[in-house]
Amino acid sequence: MNVLVTGGAGYIGSHTCVELLESGYGVVVIDNLCNSNPKSLDRVRELTGKDFKFYEGDVRDGELLRKIFAENEIGCVIHFAGLKAVGESVAQPWRYYDNNLNSTLVLTKVMEEVGMKNLIFSSSATVYSGDNEMPLRETSKTGSCTNPYGWTKYMTEQILSGMAVADKEWGIVLLRYFNPIGAHISGRIGEDPRGIPNNLMPYITQVAVGRREKLSVFGDDYDTPDGTGVRDYIHVVDLAKGHVAAVKYVAAHSGCEVFNLGTGCGYSVLDMVRTFQEVNEVPVPYQIVDRRPGDLATCYADPAKSAEVLGWKAEKSLADMCRDSWRWQSQNPKGFGE
Ligand code: NAD
Ligand code: UFG
């Protein structure tokens, strides 16, 4: 079966292409490269020894999507394509609503036209309200997002679940990712953020490789064991395997189901710095600064439903995540831009 992967040249998409190809699926990628480099796809081919088609273009281009469905027999779509920088979404809300909502609306319209109604969507733990008890279950309260990016994920979940109510032929899986980090064990693909990284792990690796002077730890006065923010970091290869499990699930089920993809373990910022330094034997200088607006003290998943229903569980440890992030960064100090 061929899986159409939107945003397949990106961080999570490229790792998912590897896992799909290694599980025997064919892959077709569409990506407009607005936040990625096509070298990632060459490296997916290199790692798997398998070829696949790449269409450079925008998911909001319905004509291109029709052409892709006409030229390929697609059995499932994984929709990664989207803009994802929280701060940028506050500065450019229209661009985020246009890209993230219209890509899904155009994609699902064309899927309906061609009668292919199996869809997996990249949602986020950001859809959960800030006042929930931990761990977060799929039934925990959602909404009251703090930025346009979060609202695009929340609204897309509403759109897709409404479509599945109206038309029983849709099989839709909403995957709520926690904090993906790490890289393929080969060090050949990984996260390659443009400009100053917003997220913790790419910032740590860029400090370790000498591209930045020191890490700013955003607050040490949270109500957590060491005062720094606690998150559920998940290895991107585990996350990618969760998508393969979702592809199998959606082929056999209709309706709309939501799953957390997390480990269920919370680690603090200082746990991350300590583990990274220990396993890689490389220093990560840091300073404590003020809290970052909008950050929660603690966020971690209850991944029980994914284990029970998808038969998927994250397997890699924090040490694996730190080791693999560093292998990617140290072998590719400038990312794919080398
Ligand atoms: P990424 O930016 O590396 O990948 C997204 C890809 O989509 C990029 O290659 C980009 O060029 C492409 N793209 C964006 N808009 C497009 C469009 N209109 N048409 C065609 N291609 C387009 O991001 P990622 O980390 O791999 O994230 C993948 C998905 O997972 C995103 O939807 C993101 O919001 C979601 N997500 C990511 C995280 C995270 O921490 N990385 C957490 C939760 C959810
Ligand atoms: N942090 C620092 N210094 C940094 C970057 C981050 O101390 O330079 C801290 C943050 O304060 C937080 C933790 O590290 O406590 C993790 O921060 P990230 O920015 O890596 O991740 P977030 O949990 O804030 O956000 C991520 C994604 C969002 C997504 C959210 C929930 O970036 O897109 O998870 O899924 F919405």
Give the angle 327-12-306 at the CA atoms, nearest 5°: 110
Rounded distance between C-alpha atoms, residue 301 and residue 308, angstroms: 14
Nearest residue by C-alpha to atom 15 in ligand 2: 229
Instruction: Give ligand 2 pocket residues (Cβ under 6 A).
Output: 84, 86, 124-126, 178-179, 198-200, 203, 215-218, 229, 231, 269, 292, 295
Rounded distance between C-alpha atoms, residue 226 and residue 280, angstroms: 22
Q: What is the position in ligand 2's atom list of the atom closest to the CA of 179?
A: 34
Question: What pTM was computed for the model?
Answer: 0.98
Q: What is the position in ligand 2's atom list of the atom closest to the CA of 85?
A: 33
The tens-digit pLDDT sequence of the chain (338 residues) is 999 999 999 999 999 999 999 999 999 999 999 999 999 999 999 999 999 999 999 999 999 999 999 999 999 999 999 999 999 999 999 999 999 999 999 999 999 999 999 999 999 999 999 999 999 999 999 999 999 999 999 999 999 999 999 999 999 999 999 999 999 999 999 999 989 999 999 999 999 999 999 999 999 999 999 999 999 999 999 999 999 999 999 999 999 999 999 999 999 999 999 999 999 999 999 999 999 999 999 999 999 999 999 999 999 999 999 999 999 999 999 999 86
